[in-house]
A and B are shown apart, each in its own frame.
Chain A
Amino acid sequence: MEIPMIVIELEWRFLTIAPCDAAEPWQLGSQDAATPIMQGIIDLHHDIFFFLILILVFVSRMLVRALWHFHEKTNPIPLRIVHGTTIEIIRTIFPSIIPMFIAIPSFALLYSMDEVVVDPAITIKAIGHQWYRFGGRRASTQPYEYSDYNSSDEQSLTFDSYTIPEDDPELGQSRLLEVDNRVVVPAKTHLRMIVTPADVLHSWAVPSSGVKCDAVPGRSNQTSILVQREGVYYGQCSEIRGTNHAFTPIVVEAVPLKDYGSQVSNQLILQTN
């Protein structure tokens, strides 16, 4: 017997245990948090939703009551009331207090995103490129630079990160979301991302880490990330910028610290030889 689509969908929606680190079909909420900031964003969303539901219920009740009681059949002779001081004060004060209650956690989260609490252990530079000639085919890329281990201006651990083309993804790879070289970062370590483009505006975004950082020509923006669980996180260039915008995925792979160390030193040996 064929299992109905809806059952598969429901099962997928409510019974899967693997965290959601990439966009998926029929996704309604946020992707699962990998950083404290993303957890904060999800919590703030829920906080605001509390007020939202309260207001929705209250306003709906007022609307329905008004339509019911002031219908011309139930209430044929209209009263000549033009104002009521008490209700006017209440309906002015309450809508000003509610946004304040929303503003407090919102600002706390906003400023915690700006904060660089501890000295980062690693700096990774993401440099947005729109056009790139690569193996005879035009593609977009986010080259990454790991320059903490350089001993001169020329030598640098740099690699390009191209999208896997539409026609040759391997089984299990998401279409236009997988790259040839992932950014490897250590988990449970404070990272500093430096984001800048080489040409036009870009935006480096990874939903699970709660980061969306604009890349502005001539300027370098900083954002900090603390990935708390190992995994592979998917994002996309999030500044509509014209040609090849859709072909610039971002993939972050968080590995244990010791694996990161050996990976980087292997790369350094490869590049120096």
Chain B
Amino acid sequence: MAEIELKTAPADFRFPTTNQTRHCFTRYIEFHKCVNAKGDDSGECEKFAKYYRSLCPGEWIEKWNEQRENGNFPGPL
């Protein structure tokens, strides 16, 4: 297996505090907005997906994905 790349979501000046809840949520929103605007396979959105996967607890992502499928996701998409 090739050497893995050590890379994660960068520090974001919009979220300078210990509380990173909104950082994770914003990256999730940014990914889905990007996909809505540019399409699934433009390749530009993948970095946002990597960011939110790094920052969000898996349970939260599962819940939000479920909410989006059911159409009751509360965020601004």
A positions within 8 Å CB-CB of B: 114, 116, 118-123, 125, 127, 145, 147-150, 153, 156, 158, 186, 189, 192, 194, 196, 198, 213, 218-223, 257, 261, 264-266, 268-269
Overall SS of chain A's interface: mixed
Residue in B6, B16, B19, B21 whose Cβ sees the most chain A Cβ within 10 Å: B6
**Distance A266 CA – B3 CA, assembled complex (angstroms):** 10
Which residues of chain B from 39 to 58 have a CB within 8 Å of any chain A CB? 50, 53-58
Q: Do the beta carbons of B54 and A147 come within 8 Å of each other?
A: yes
Closest to A191 in B: B8
Bound form: Cα–Cα A192–B11 in Å? 9
If A119-B10, A156-B53, A222-B18 touch, whether A149 touches B59 (CB-CB below 8 Å) is no
Q: Please report B residues at the A interface, Cβ cutoff 8 Å.
A: 1-4, 6-11, 16-21, 23-24, 50, 53-59, 61-62, 65
Return B58 CB to nearest CB of chain A, in Å. Answer: 6
A123 adjacent to B1 (CB under 8 Å): no
Q: What A residues does B16 contact at CB under 8 A? A: 114, 116
* A217 → B minimal CB distance (Å): 11
**Contact of B11 (CB < 8 Å), options: A116, A218, A257:** A116
Which chain B residues border A213 with CB–CB below 8 Å?
18
* C-alpha spacing A86/B24, complex, angstroms: 59
Q: Which residues of A contact B8 (CB under 8 A)?
A: 119-123, 148, 192
| A226: min CB distance to chain B, Å | 14
Contact indicator A123/B55 (Cβ below 8 Å): yes
Give bound CA distance, A200 to B20, whole Å: 18
A-B contact pairs, 5 of them (CB 8 A): A114-B17, A147-B53, A194-B55, A194-B57, A265-B1
Contact check, A264 vs B55: say whether CB atoms are below 8 A apart.
no
Contact status A265-B4, CB under 8 Å:
yes
Residue of chain B at shortest CB distance from A150: B53
CB–CB B57/A196 < 8 A: yes
Other A-B contacts than A127-B58, A257-B6, 12 sampled, CB-CB below 8 A, are: A114-B16, A119-B11, A122-B6, A147-B58, A148-B54, A150-B50, A156-B53, A222-B20, A223-B18, A261-B4, A265-B3, A268-B4
B-side contacts of A123, CB under 8 Å: 8-9, 54-55
Q: Which residue of chain A has its CB nearest to the CB of B61?
A: A153
- Pick from A125, A218, A222, A261: contact of B3, CB under 8 Å: A261
* Complex Cα spacing A223 to B11, Å: 12
Given A116-B11, A123-B54, do A218 and B4 touch, yes or no (CB 8 Å)?
Answer: no
A223 to B19, alpha carbons, bound, how many Å?
9
Bound state CA distance, A22 and B66, in angstroms?
Answer: 42
Chain B residues with Cβ below 8 Å from A269 are 1
A219 and B3 in contact (CB under 8 A), knowing A125-B57, A153-B65? no
Whether the Cβ atoms of A120 and B55 lie closer than 8 Å is no
Query: Which 4 pairs between the two chains have the least Cβ-Cβ distance?
Result: A265-B1, A116-B11, A222-B20, A123-B54
Q: Which residue of A lies closest to B59 (CB)?
A: A198
In Å, the complex CA distance between A219 and B55 comes to 12
